[in-house]
Structure 1
């Protein structure tokens, strides 16, 4: 069966790469005028820890998004307009990550941190819904998937993405009373996805044995 999604995957890879690159623009070099000795420069760098935290969280979140997107498209062989627009929604949201990252870097440690973290976690609620939408469209129309994939494999992949909805919603609600805990919850979910992304590969192997 000829794979029709090569251009979608190539374009998506480029967008994910740009989204990650945009994050580094928020890392600022301390002004030379006020950091004319080693200790002052060290203090200025340490004061920027919220920027480094936000950059690290967002970098690995987009990277995990790319890994899961890549593995998902190993199971998707054909495309239609609905699938392409759903994929476009994911790419749009991925490019938006740099904005809440900048908010998080600017306002973490201030009284406005709850709003910054709420915007940040709220975006990932939307991203998770978009991934579920993409897989739902692909799996509902079995002609879009590789022919040998089994129903068991489809359900395993669906469950892997559905876990994220309640976790990200919980993180969003938690951000209003414990912003740090909300970020820990998100980081825990991304770590889980990093280790369980192999399920998509295992599902492919299961499909071949079925």
Structure 2
């Protein structure tokens, strides 16, 4: 006869390992972001030095946006796995793919500072767009395959899906804007601070 207690213990240990591995990837990715900000060359004049620092604004903007976005994705990921009660190989692979995009964010962030222009902005925004899309697929996969807590209803599934995809909509729009102006595309990321409240008003 199968020991249900041992089975539950293995399941909980597996979920703990999954969450621990995911947290480690998030921690490394969010730490690597600061390495993308390079100090300007030293100058004789403090005024010129300040000017050089201000010229690094794309690095600072992408750092702040990336830090907050990765933080938001961690919060959503943490919230999702609070509701996960079971897992299968499909969920594990979707989580790996999601973490692959998270780990790629520091590199795409560095492109903006090293090679200013439309293409790096498109790579960066495209990366963050796909990160949200993969997470929404993971969430819906867990729902469709009965891997979530029984208390999770259709309304919560829908609300979490919209919450995940809202930043992706902003970044996807900035990809299109970047074909015209990289600077304007970067400015459009400030919509992220208001996008969630706008979505809630529109959806009701």
TM bin (shorter chain): 0.7 to 0.9
Matched with 2:78 is: 70
Other-structure match for 2:172: 169
Q: Aligned ranges for residues 86-165 of structure 1 at < 5 Å?
A: 86-108=94-116, 113-142=117-146, 144-165=147-168
State the number of aligned residues: 188
Q: CA deviation at 1:11?
A: 1.1
In the alignment, does 2:63 pair up with 1:55? yes
Aligned alpha-carbon RMSD (Å) = 2.3
Judge conservation of contact 1:125–1:165 (CA < 8 Å) in 2.
yes
List gaps (5 residues or longer) in structure 2: 1-7, 199-204
Matched position secondary structure for 2:127: helix
Secondary structure in 1 matching 2:136: helix
1:42 and 2:50 aligned: yes
- What is the TM-score normalised by the length of structure 2? 0.81
Instruction: Determine the C-alpha separation between the residues in 1 that align with 2:41 and 2:136.
Output: 44
Unaligned runs of 5+ in 1: 197-210
Q: Cα distance, 1:154 vs. partner?
A: 2.0
State the alpha-carbon separation in 2 of the partners of residues 136 and 130 from structure 1: 10
Q: Is the 8 A contact 2:142 2:148 kept in 1?
A: yes
Name the structure where helix makes up a greater proportion of residues.
Answer: 2
CA distance in 1, matches of 2:65, 2:123: 14
Preserved contact between residue 64 and residue 190 of structure 1 (Cα < 8 Å): no
In 2, are the aligned partners of 1:167 and 1:186 still within 8 Å (CA)?
yes
